Every structure is written in structure tokens, then in C-alpha cells.
Amino acid sequence: MKSYRIALIPGDGIGRDMTAAAWSVLQNAAKAHGFVFEATEFPWSCAFYRETGTMMPADGIETLRSFDAILLGAVGWPAQVPDAVSLHGLLLPIRKSFVQYANIRPHRLLAGVEGPLKATAFDILCIRENTEGEYSGAGGRIHQGTADEVAVETSIFTRKGVERILRFAFEQARSRRGKLASVTKSNAQKYSMVFWDDVTRQLSAEYPDVEVTSYHIDAMAARMVMAPETLDVVVASNLFGDILTDLGAAIQGGLGFAASANINPERNAPSMFEPVHGSAPDIAHLGIANPIATVWSGAMMLDHLGEKDAANAVMTAIEAVTKSGIGTVPGRDRTDTITAALLAAL
């Protein structure tokens, strides 16, 4: 029987309940489709940091490398560990080390979910650059704490990094409705973003079948609310993609619905699947977080592993549940109720 080794990193806050819920659904899908999931759970989190002084062991990345995929809940517990420490100690190094440069975030309304735009139909695939740009971690602070303090955060955009994410996005557009929106702020940022626009134009010659339009990030934010039905594939840099995908989550009804896949397209290292949302400290112990975002991310993992039928079965189960109204109103149905409904629908 075919077997996949999955690294499970529940992380912090609701991440723990969300991965538990998703894992039960994924195990069921595996059973029904004739393959086996072998999970190894890693306790790497802010609690782990408080015990050991690191978010993961020194050989953490090497440990993860042999897995077929990683399923992650959420990282961050800012009341105890500064976010810049926890995220740069676990989540961001995984994305970068495993060259998961394509962060795929689908935004569409699930059956039965109205969303704040009152059921305007849309189907957007956000492709977020996931390894460089504004998240390069280059910079520093001088004269700290004084009136002369200066902080610099350097965005690094490489030809290799920009070309590969744009190429990935063009390919996605080609396989969908043939429309690509490339998002920058090249009116204000005259190096990196003008460079991004240049590369977009250069590559567009190779994709005459794709209609590509460049937008400024501010205009795109408005368009996603006012006319989301005009968008197909949207590609953006690391930070802009981060912001647009919480906006995407909002128009699809909330962060409890937004899934995400951190893909290494070359498949020379594991890819990682996690919801768009974080550890949600405000609702962490209440049992009311929506597991659908993480379950959908799990479906993306099944798809990536080549288990298309199982992936489709999970998506069908999600939509059967939301169509029945369960999980569609934030905070109303308990995590357990939604998970039980998903298992029953499978």
C-alpha cells in the first residue's frame, strides 16, 4: 500500500486544534482511497522555545527534509515570545530553506457562504512570492533607543526569484482562465517594483495566450472588494501577497476559510501546507475556530502528493458541510461540530 510520511507541526494557539481536526479528516480520506499516512509530530512552537531557547532544534530543517510534506497549524504567541523571534525561528526558515517559492492561496466562496460582498461570485488564485522580497531579513538598527535611531529593512529581489514566481503564475493563468494580474507599487518603489514590472513584460512575450495586466497594490486592494469577479490569477511579492491574501480571506467569508500551500515546484524538498491565518490568541482556548482553512490546505497537500481523488473527496465534503450551513457563520459552530460534520460528509 502506498504510504506518505508527513511532518506535523501544530505550533501555537488554534494551530493545535486545527491540525488535529485536519489530520482526522486526512486520515479518513487516506483510508477511503487506499493509501496510508504516517505522521511524525514535532512540538516546535513558542512553548518549545520557552523550554529550549530555540523554536526548533539546530538540525530541524535537516530532520524535515526527508518528509513527503509538512502540515503546519500556526506559529506565534506574541504574549510570550516576540513574533519576529518565533516566525524567523521556524516558519520563515522552512519556506526559505526548502525553496517553497510559490505560495498558492485560493480565494473563492464555498457553497453556502455568502461573504461580506453578498455572494458576488469570484474565483481568485493568489500566487505569493514566498522566499525573498520584503521578507529577506536584511537590515538593521543603529543608535537604538536614541533620538537619532535609524532602522533599515532591505527588500531583496533577484532576477532568479522574480522570474520563477512570475513564470509559475503565468503557467497557472494558462491552465485557468488565461488572465494574470501582476501587483506592484512601481509608481513609488522605483527599483524593485520597476524591475518586477520589467520582468513581467519580458515574460509576457513567452505567454501570448495569457492576458497580463499590471496593477498597483492599492488599486488591487480596492478591486478585490469592488470587482473581484474580474480577477483570475493574481501574483504579488511576499509582503503584498501576504496582505492581499488576508483581504482575499475576508471576502471569502473569513480567515477560517483561507487555505495556503507553500510549494517547492522543483520537488527537490518538501512543500508545506498551512492555513492563511495565524494562532488566533483571541479565541485560542474557546473551541470555536473554523478548521476548514486547514482542512482545505490538507486537500491541497493531497493534490500535491498526487492523490487527486482523495483531494476532490475532501473538497466535496467541505462544500457539503458549508452548503448545509455548518461552519459558515464565524464563531457560531464549534470546531468539534464542524470536524464531525466533515468526517460524516466524507
Report angle CA 250, 261, 182 to the nearest 5 degrees.
Answer: 65
Q: Tell me which of Mn ion, ligand NAD, ligand IPM, none is bound by residue 259, counting a contact when its beta carbon lies within the kind-specific cut-off of 5 to 8 angstroms.
A: none
Q: Which three cell numbers mark 139? A: 537590515
- Which of 121, 249, 246, 227 lies closest to 181, judged by CA? 227
Round to whole Å and give the CA distance between 81 and 49.
Answer: 8
Asked if 17 touches ligand IPM (CB under 6 A), the answer is no
The residue count for binding ligand IPM (CB under 6 A) is: 6
Round to whole Å and give the CA distance between 205 and 85.
Answer: 42
Shortest approach of Mn ion to residue 260 CB, angstroms? 9
By CB under 6 A, name the one of 12, 17, 132, 242 that touches ligand IPM: 242
Q: Which three cell numbers mark 201? A: 513584460
Asked if 242 touches Mn ion (CB under 5 A), the answer is yes
Which CB, 192 or 260, lies closer to ligand IPM?
260
> Contact, 291 vs 14, CB < 8 A?
no
Round to whole Å and give the CA distance between 6 and 342.
Answer: 21
Shortest-Cβ-distance residue relative to Mn ion: 242
> Contact, 78 vs 281, CB < 8 A?
yes
Round to whole Å and give the CA distance between 292 and 22.
Answer: 8
Asked if 256 touches ligand IPM (CB under 6 A), the answer is no
Round to whole Å and give the CA distance between 62 and 57.
Answer: 10
Round to whole Å and give the CA distance between 307 and 303.
Answer: 5
Structure letter (DSSP) for residue 268? S
Which CB, 13 or 29, lies closer to ligand IPM?
13
Shortest approach of ligand IPM to residue 60 CB, angstroms? 17
Round to whole Å and give the CA distance between 160 and 342.
Answer: 41
Shortest approach of ligand NAD to residue 9 CB, angstroms? 9
Which CB, 76 or 161, lies closer to ligand NAD?
76
Which CB, 242 or 333, lies closer to Mn ion?
242
Asked if 132 touches Mn ion (CB under 5 A), the answer is no
Question: Mask: binding to ligand IPM, 62-81, rule CB under 6 A, as x and -?
Answer: --------------x-----
Backbone torsions φ then ψ of 35, nearest 5 degrees: -140, 170
**Using CB under 5 A, which of the segments 22-30, 179-187, 238-246, 259-267 binds Mn ion?**
238-246
Which CB, 166 or 293, lies closer to Mn ion?
293
With a CB cutoff of 8 Å and minimum separation 6, the contacts of 31 are none
By CB under 6 A, name the one of 87, 283, 320, 340 that touches ligand IPM: 87
Q: Tell me which of ligand NAD, ligand IPM, Mn ion, none is bound by residue 234, counting a contact when its beta carbon lies within the kind-specific cut-off of 5 to 8 angstroms.
A: none
Asked if 85 touches ligand IPM (CB under 6 A), the answer is no
Round to whole Å and give the CA distance between 101 and 91.
Answer: 13
Q: Tell me which of ligand NAD, ligand IPM, Mn ion, none is bound by residue 280, counting a contact when its beta carbon lies within the kind-specific cut-off of 5 to 8 angstroms.
A: ligand NAD
Q: Which of residues 90-129 bind ligand IPM (CB under 6 A)?
A: 91
Shortest approach of ligand NAD to residue 275 CB, angstroms? 6
> Contact, 56 vs 44, CB < 8 A?
yes
> Contact, 177 vs 209, CB < 8 A?
no
Binding site for ligand NAD (CB under 6 A): 14, 74-76, 78, 83, 87, 91, 255-256, 274, 277-283, 289-290, 293, 330
Which CB, 283 or 343, lies closer to Mn ion?
283
Round to whole Å and give the CA distance between 184 and 165.
Answer: 14
Asked if 276 touches ligand IPM (CB under 6 A), the answer is yes
Residues that bind ligand IPM (CB under 6 A): 76, 87, 91, 242, 276, 278
Residues that bind Mn ion (CB under 5 A): 242
